[in-house]
Chain A
């Protein structure tokens, strides 16, 4: 029973490097979201998807790209990492009429030097 799986758990990048944070869920959930968590800021929505092929921006989308080619996967791409993107990133998924009941992964802790 994997649920929402995020990889890697930890990553250190240099400014300007690119990388992809992976998120996969095995619950057949159509809704998936990415949040970032910063001290004293709570969780802020970056991008979300309501199904394969459909994505939209959240509160803090700048510097991030997403795509949703399958129901299971929702990767988050940083094209040119900046120190301001140092954060903990969480992926979440939900389903159907209970779309508000979000299940979170364990997170990816990212440091950009």
Chain B
């Protein structure tokens, strides 16, 4: 059972454009929604995260939008740069557990 569904699987965006990756979850017990960024040959690194008490969180060019009623959240990368080319994973966690449930990942390529 896939508890966190992520789309698209891959994404090509021109430099300066907006990259948008979407995720949907099923378990209403989830209360922590991070995004991880992974470069080839490296481990995932926390990029930005949100809790359901807010609908949006922004850190620099990265924004999470959260829709609790729809059980969806998305990552927006503004002014996308070639250095943003990486695999992005959404995930979900709950207060009682240390582990995360991950989406399948999105490979982002930002063309120069």
Residues of A within 8 A of B (CB): 4, 31, 33, 35, 40-45, 48, 50, 58, 90, 94, 99-107
Q: Given A90-B43, A102-B46, A106-B42, check contact A42 B102 (CB 8 Å).
A: yes
Least Cβ distance of B108 to chain A in Å? 15
Listed residue (A40, A99, A106) with the most chain B CB atoms within 10 angstroms of its CB: A99
Q: Which residues of chain B are near A31, meaning CB under 8 Å?
A: 98
Given contacts A4-B43, A45-B99, A45-B101, 11 further A-B contacts (CB under 8 A): A31-B98, A40-B104, A42-B105, A48-B99, A100-B34, A100-B94, A100-B95, A103-B46, A104-B36, A106-B43, A107-B41
Least Cβ distance of A91 to chain B in Å? 9
Number of A-B contacts defined by CB within 8 Å: 60
Sort chain B's interface into a size bin.
Answer: 20 to 34
Q: Which residues of chain A are near B89, meaning CB under 8 Å?
A: 42-43
**B9 near A: Cβ within 8 Å?**
yes
**B44 near A: Cβ within 8 Å?**
yes
Q: Please encode chain B, from 5 to 16, with 1 for each CB lying within 8 Å of some chain A CB and 0 for all others.
A: 010010000000
Q: Please encode chain B, from 83 to 112, with 1 for each CB lying within 8 Å of some chain A CB and 0 for all others.
A: 000000100011101111111110000000
Q: Complex: how many Å from CA A35 to CA B38?
A: 14
* B43 lies within 8 A of A33 (CB): no
Least Cβ distance of B7 to chain A in Å? 12
Residue in B34, B95, B101 whose CB lies within 8 Å of A101: B34
Q: Do most interface residues of chain B lie in helix, strand or loop, or is the interface mixed?
A: loop
* B105 lies within 8 A of A104 (CB): no
Residues of B within 8 A of A (CB): 6, 9, 32, 34, 36, 41-46, 49, 89, 93-95, 97-105
Q: Complex: how many Å from CA A48 to CA B103?
A: 19
Least Cβ distance of A30 to chain B in Å? 8
Q: Complex: how many Å from CA A99 to CA B104?
A: 22
* B104 lies within 8 A of A94 (CB): no
Q: Which residues of chain A are near B103, meaning CB under 8 Å?
A: 42
Residue in A43, A94, A105, A107 whose CB lies within 8 Å of B98: A94
Residue in B45, B93, B104 whose CB lies within 8 Å of A100: B93
